[in-house]
Amino acid sequence: MKALAVSGLSFSYPDGTSAVEGVDLDIESGERVALLGPNGAGKTSFLLSLIGILEARTGSIEIGGLRLEPATLSEIRRRLGLVFQDPDDQLFMPTVEEDVAFGPANLGLRGPALKLRVSQALAAVGEVHLAERAPHHLSGGERRRVAIATVLTMEPEVLVLDEPTSNLDPAGRRDLVGLLKGMGSTQLVVTHDLPFALELCTRSIIMDGGRVVADGPTADLMNDRQLMTKHRLELPYGFDPANIRPT
């Protein structure tokens, strides 16, 4: 069973603008996959379609074998955990512990079971000691980890991260790579940070014009200069993708 299976997905805005067009995408359990593409490629529309915020015109979406439809929307959103680009969009309670508890508490989890779920999620990101801290007093890297914990506490089958290195310093970025590599979860990572994608993900998908235009080993795609140029993807000056191999 695929962790994520998307078939023939298309979405158009009310004015007729096509944002996603005929996307087929499968992700196996435990895979870490980068979703790359220039601005306006359709990546955000694709993500919002996955969790039912945007209603696809055609196609199907399955998370862990469960098909997205009105009756399954709540469970689909639990199974696919989306970590937003800005952690402050997910952190709004007085303490870290309350933020991480918010999702499962809304589903009815209470008492020792809720406390255990929260402590396990914070332990997974290495931030148990922050439980009583106010989120707005944390560093950027700490807020990013806590935001991930708020999603992990829902026990998702697929973890989706939108621009996870945004506003992180080099040390925070390095810590995030280590965290995500060590988790062993199925991950879909949307990023413009190509070295980060190369270090973290063995496989990458390139979207442009609402379509999947390439799907293959990350290093192979980044070494294809014609492909990268055509789809406005640019590695940092002097960066050689041959120097990094994802593990």
195-246 pLDDT, tens digit per residue, is 999 999 999 999 999 999 999 999 999 999 999 999 999 988 777 787 766 6
Question: How far apart, in whole angstroms, are the C-alpha atoms of residue 203 and residue 118?
Answer: 31
* pTM reported for the whole predicted model: 0.93
Residues 1-64+157-247: name the CATH superfamily: P-loop containing nucleotide triphosphate hydrolases (3.40.50.300)
pLDDT of res. 247: 62
pLDDT of res. 112: 95
pLDDT of res. 240: 79
Q: What is each CA distance from 232 to 11, 97, 139, 149, 196, in whole angstroms?
A: 23, 41, 32, 33, 17
Question: How far apart, in whole angstroms, are the C-alpha atoms of residue 79 and residue 77?
Answer: 5
Q: Which residues of the chain form CATH 3.40.50.300? A: 1-64+157-247
pLDDT of res. 237: 78
Using an 8 Å Cβ cutoff, are 198 and 218 in contact? yes
Which residue is it, tokens 């070295």?
Answer: 195
pLDDT of res. 218: 96
Helix axes 170-183, 140-152, angle to 10 degrees: 20
Using an 8 Å Cβ cutoff, are 212 and 205 in contact? yes
Which residue is it, tokens 């694709």?
Answer: 46
- Nearest to 213, CA basis, from 44, 36, 8: 36
Residue 66 corresponds to which tokens in the numbers above? Answer: 């469960």
pLDDT of res. 242: 74
Using an 8 Å Cβ cutoff, are 12 and 69 in contact? no
The beta strand positions in the chain, using DSSP E, are 4-12, 18-27, 32-36, 58-63, 66-67, 80-83, 158-162, 186-190, 203-208, 211-217
Which regions of the chain are under pLDDT 70?
244-247
Question: How far apart, in whole angstroms, are the C-alpha atoms of residue 94 and residue 18?
Answer: 41
Radius of gyration of the chain (CA): 18
